Structure 1
């Protein structure tokens, strides 16, 4: 299975790992732009890899770090795809 992550590279939380953010409706969000009207809701986390490969950004967060509890839109070129 493949997992997505992003490591924060600047600011006060350098090194913090972000993962796909599960929204209250139990979906993940991908988008080609930063605008909510373009959001695509994705039910299964494992499906996010294909969206990233198509060029979509992913909303990611880290609930254990106060400054990253709210999801940020992370570009495909910054996302690490790893096998677990």
Structure 2
């Protein structure tokens, strides 16, 4: 799963699902923490994305995208299930 930034100072940089300190990924229908759904795997995250949930994504090598951004499912490019199983 990835999102390519389309404008701004770092246009073209790739964001991937943000793994929090507890090792979990976050999906949500809103930007509010009370609505977060925490999952352990990229497969679970992709299922939520396919069902309309937005995903918190970041790029730790970026100066402008280290903090996770909430990316809508229509903007995310999904990798194949084989790639997700190996992630």
Please indicate the TM-score interval, normalised by the length of the shorter structure: over 0.9
1:81 Cα offset (Å): 0.5
Q: In proportion to residue count, which structure has more strand?
A: 1
Taking structure 2 as the reference length, the TM-score comes to 0.90
**Runs of 4 or more consecutive aligned structure 1 residues displaced over 3 Å after TM superposition:** none
Q: CA RMSD in A?
A: 0.7
| Alignment match, 1:42 | 39
Specify every segment of 5 or more residues in structure 2 that has no aligned partner in the other structure, as ranges.
none
- Measured in 2, the distance between the counterparts of 1:58 and 1:65 equals 18
Specify every segment of 5 or more residues in structure 1 that has no aligned partner in the other structure, as ranges.
none
Q: 1:22 aligns with which of 16, 19, 24?
A: 19
Report matched runs for 1:47-66 at 5 Å: 47-66=44-63
- Structure with more contact order per residue of length (Cα contacts < 8 Å, sep ≥ 6): 1
1:69 Cα offset (Å): 0.5
- Measured in 1, the distance between the counterparts of 2:63 and 2:71 equals 18
